[in-house]
Chains A and B, each alone.
Chain A
Amino acid sequence: MTIQEQDKTTATRIRQIREAFTDARNKAGLKDAPEELLAGFDETEFDEIIP
């Protein structure tokens, strides 16, 4: 597998896992996860939040 193929597979896997969890939430009637995610600064241990 070339690096480009491998990269495409990773991006595809990420999309597919997100779709699978979104489908599962929809089927269960759960509120969807937020579209906007925030990744914080490494030197604080609490900084990763979903607004």
Chain B
Amino acid sequence: MSECVGEGFDPVHLLIIQATPFCNIDCSYCYLSTRSETKRITLDTVEAIAKFLRDAPVSKRPLTICWHAGEPLTVPISFYERVFSCFAATPGTPAVRHTFQTNATLINEDWCDFFKRWSVHVGVSVDGPRAIHDAQRVDRSGRGTFDRVMRGISRLRQHEVPFGVISVLTKESLNSPDAIWDFYRSNGITRVAFNVDEGKGVHEASSLMPSEHLAAFRKFMSRIAELQERDPIIEVRELDSMRRHLTAPPTAEVRKTDNRPGAILNINVDGYLTTFSPELLGQVHSRYGRFAWGNVHVDSWEQFTKNAQFQRARADIKAGVDLCRESCPYFAVCGGGCPSNKLAEHDTFVAAETAKCRFKIQAVADVVLERLEREIGLSSAGVAN
């Protein structure tokens, strides 16, 4: 495998592949415009991806492949068996590990066997107790999916398949940190990540506005931090990672994979590829054109890195990160905002703060910073400017 990263490129840290854009449910906050399309990735495309990867520099082995951007479990197990074997058998392809981000409604005994056989990491999307979950995560008839998700989680537990969860926070869930925590505890969930309802893609309007909900979000995260202190067995991605960033050496900087060229590779069902925020793939923009900077069937890694539209987006994304560095006091613990959010909110990558920054970085940093200062006897009130 070539180790030629390309000038200014990060090695690939995460490969996201869309097995199908189709999703069997219809969450109110979903940003994917193509979730009703039932096409599937072909084995030819997977073989082309495996060959494409031979020239791509990877950050560590095994490289993580996340099957996402559509419900991956709507594609049969037999297909994944062939696909996984293809990656393992293609000479020169880096070793990979597979992860699925799933709504869990289709998990049965066969899927559990498959997950174990291939050591697949499973991430389940579940928002908390029934009332919170079913308010947003509904099927195409508008019915809540809570019971079906919990059956899937129950099977994972019965078969001892390790899993974590992602919960999306809306304005309603911010009032219920204790109920959400109890839900995790009572269902054996020990790895948790919180996303916020964001306005992007076809979901243009978030239920969360910084002007109205930032204080409630901060209060929610503060309460979750208290609960985690009592119950440290549950890992919380946002709090744990912010602690690492805040206790790093003074000169440490965070590299945010969303805004680093090459760090995330995104490949859709037809083999088109981009880097940066996965949500960009397939979008069309007046300045940046279509976010598809190559196709694994016809382009090499080198051709992909020289794509003219990619170069334009890359220059603007870098300029946006530079703005973050110059203007944001949280830059050291963030690494710059997400390009897809900048584009959705500012219609350009050359921008700094977004609503997501204020929730996911600034408010979380405030909560963790205050707790750390208390822990070691540093008072924020006494900090000199």
Contact = CB atoms under 8 A, between A and B. Distances in A.
A42 B241 CA distance: 12
A27 to B, nearest CB: 12
A41 B264 contact: yes
A12 to B, nearest CB: 6
A47 to B, nearest CB: 7
B369 interface: yes
Interface stretch (B145-153, B178-186, B372-380): B372-380
Given A13-B373, A17-B369, A51-B60, A38 B254 contact: yes
Nearest to B333: A14
Contact of A36 (B195, B253, B277, B360): B253
Given A13-B369, A44-B14, A47-B14, A18 B164 contact: no
Contact of A12 (B59, B241, B384): B384
B68 A17 contact: no
A22 B249 CA distance: 6
Interface residues of B, number: 59
Interface string A8-51: 11111111111111101000000011111111111111111011
Contacts of A37: 244-245, 248, 252-255, 335
Contacts of B380: 9, 13
A22 B264 CA distance: 31
B216 to A, nearest CB: 20
